[in-house]
Amino acid sequence: MCVFRWLIVLFLACSSSLAWGQAPLAPEVRAHTVLVLGDSLSAAYNLPEDKGWVALMTARMKAAEQSSGARIPWDVINASISGETTSGGLSRLPELLAVHQPGWVLIELGANDGLRGLPLSIVRQNLQKLIALSEQAGARVVLLGIMLPPNYGPLYTTPFRDMYHALAAQNHLPLVPFILQGVAENRSLMQADGLHPTAAGEPQVLANIWSVVGPLWGFDGQH
């Protein structure tokens, strides 16, 4: 009976691997595959999908491809989910890496952990695991930082902000310090909840992120 159970477990494990398994992408194709793992700030919360910064970034990359006649197109996979936490991202990332085989992973998580007041030691540990999983799969990571509203108090918001800088330094990662820079402090660019950008604010979010990823991806002259 034990042997039979073991065979069932082995069969299920192999079936799962086959379901996730994909033909390996060529290195140059992987290098042009980007996975965005984020929360509502990357999922165009309460906006048409094409107004979010990820869609705007994809459109900019496609336009650059057409003007330059690039041989290998960029593929951007937005795996962001509103309400996502670092632990939720950890549960989904292995399959996303196996299926999409990205050369780049943009990690934009932690805000919902912070809004719930989770211990920063746990948030940081989860972010470190996300970084490690991505790198072990052969992807390069860009960390997208976020800051919490000031009403959470400096004893929590300051180390929360600094956590992204510390992780980037520890892992030698490119960092966007605060993706809502120039947006969060402008009420006209924020939705009524005070947490999410309006459609008018999304281009500035992209500008903050593009200033880091554009040069990394060879789009230095594209603004």
Cβ atoms of 139 and 104 within 8 Å: the answer is: yes
Q: What confidence tens digit (pLDDT) does each residue in 1-40 have? A: 444 444 443 344 344 434 555 788 888 899 999 999 999 9
Residue 169 has pLDDT above 50, yes or no: yes
Output the pLDDT for position 120: 98
Q: What pLDDT sits at residue 68?
A: 79
Q: What is the pLDDT of residue 48?
A: 97
What's the pTM?
0.89
pLDDT of residue 16: 40
Q: What number is the average pLDDT over the span 157-186?
A: 98
- The secondary structure of residue 23, as a DSSP letter, is P
Please report the pLDDT score of residue 19 as a whole number. Answer: 52
Computed over every residue of the chain, the mean pLDDT equals 90
Predicted confidence (pLDDT) per residue in 152-164, tens digit: 999 999 999 999 9
Mean pLDDT calculated for residue range 86-112:
98
In this prediction, residue 9 carries a pLDDT of 35
Which pLDDT score, from 0 to 100, does residue 4 have? Answer: 45
- pLDDT for 65: 87
Q: Where are the beta strands (DSSP E) in the chain?
A: 33-38, 75-78, 104-108, 140-144, 175-176
Residues 139-151 pLDDT 10s? 999 999 999 999 9
Residue 23 falls in which region: left (phi positive, over 0), alpha (psi -120 to 50) or beta: beta
Domain boundaries, the chain: 25-213
Active site residues: 40, 193, 196
Fold type of domain 25-213: Rossmann fold (3.40.50)
Per-residue pLDDT, 221 = 54
Q: What angle separates helix 154-171 from helix 120-136, to the nearest 10 degrees?
A: 20
